[in-house]
């Protein structure tokens, strides 16, 4: 299948490598391909430049966001949450009629707030939108002809693409969206990654809970120690 991954961050790279390994034709989207390939410094989290990473993954094509979206039959959104609506709106025509699986978090970095939450990597970001709206719903409103599914967001993407690495795969992944066929497509992708417990949370409004879970995910990560892989299981 032709799958577009919009984004070049560490999460996107996990999907790109796994999808290619599964035999899919992967098209990666970035703002400006030449500028992305020209970068030669790690980012602030120490992630190596995309060009360096890509050199170790032959056969992956890099395009603008819109060109990658045009080539994908299914599209994954890994664009930084604050910029996702604007960037995806620029590819609205290319995304028409397609399933867009969104895993971004609408983080606001370095917030100026009265009661900051100190973390090992600075003050915990806040969310915008939060509680009464979600990034996924904003994307769906901006792209009414696209079928948005929220998924993946409750895990590190390394675990999303390799669930069996945690607890033998016995943990839960969530999907939410307003289009049943798009949720089936996202669930099919998750099954191919190895997920056996995919819980459909219903309409896209449930993305509010999935995005806000990011704070608990971080807190669990701090408690377990940096780099510890973990999952969550809904016991019922």
Interface with ligand NAP (CB under 6 A): 7-12, 30-31, 36, 78-81, 83, 87, 103-105, 107, 153, 156-157
Place of tokens 């602030």: 44
Q: Which among 175, 159, 161 has a CA at the least distance from the CA of 231?
A: 159
Residue nearest to ligand NAP (CB): 9
Which of 180, 189 has the CB closer to ligand NAP?
189
C-alpha dihedral sign at 40, 2, 142, 64: positive
Least separation in angstroms between CB 26 and ligand NAP: 14
Least separation in angstroms between CB 65 and ligand NAP: 7
Which of 36, 172 has the CB closer to ligand NAP?
36
Which of 167, 180 has the CB closer to ligand NAP?
167
Q: How far apart are CA 70 and CA 62, in angstroms?
A: 13
Which of 180, 199 has the CB closer to ligand NAP?
199
SS (H, E, C) 23-77: CCEEEEEECCHHHHHHCCCCCCCCCCCHHHHHHCCCCCEEEEHHHHHHHCCEEEE
Least separation in angstroms between CB 156 and ligand NAP: 4
């Amino acid at each position: 299948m032709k799958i577009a991954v919009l984004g070049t961050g560490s999460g996107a790279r996990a999907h790109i490598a796994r999808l290619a390994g599964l035999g899919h034709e992967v098209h990666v989207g970035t703002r400006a391909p030449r500028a992305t390939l020209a970068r030669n410094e790690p980012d602030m989290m120490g992630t190596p430049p995309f060009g360096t990473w890509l050199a170790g993954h032959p056969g992956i094509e890099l395009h603008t966001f819109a060109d990658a979206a045009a080539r994908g039959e299914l599209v994954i959104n890994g664009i930084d949450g604050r910029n996702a609506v604007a960037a995806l709106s620029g590819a609205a025509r290319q995304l028409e009629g397609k399933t867009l699986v969104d895993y971004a978090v609408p983080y606001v970095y370095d917030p100026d707030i009265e009661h900051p939450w100190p973390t090992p990597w600075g003050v915990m970001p806040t969310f915008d939108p939060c509680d009464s709206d979600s990034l996924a719903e904003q994307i769906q409103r901006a792209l009414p002809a696209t079928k948005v599914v929220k998924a993946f967001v409750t895990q590190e993407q390394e675990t999303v693409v390799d669930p069996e690495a945690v607890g033998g795969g016995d943990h839960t992944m969530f999907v939410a969206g307003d289009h049943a066929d798009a949720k089936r497509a996202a669930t099919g992708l998750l099954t191919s990654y190895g997920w056996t417990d995919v819980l459909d949370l219903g309409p896209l409004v449930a993305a509010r809970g999935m995005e806000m879970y990011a704070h608990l995910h971080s807190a669990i990560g701090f408690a377990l120690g940096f780099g510890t892989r973990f999952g969550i299981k809904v016991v019922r």
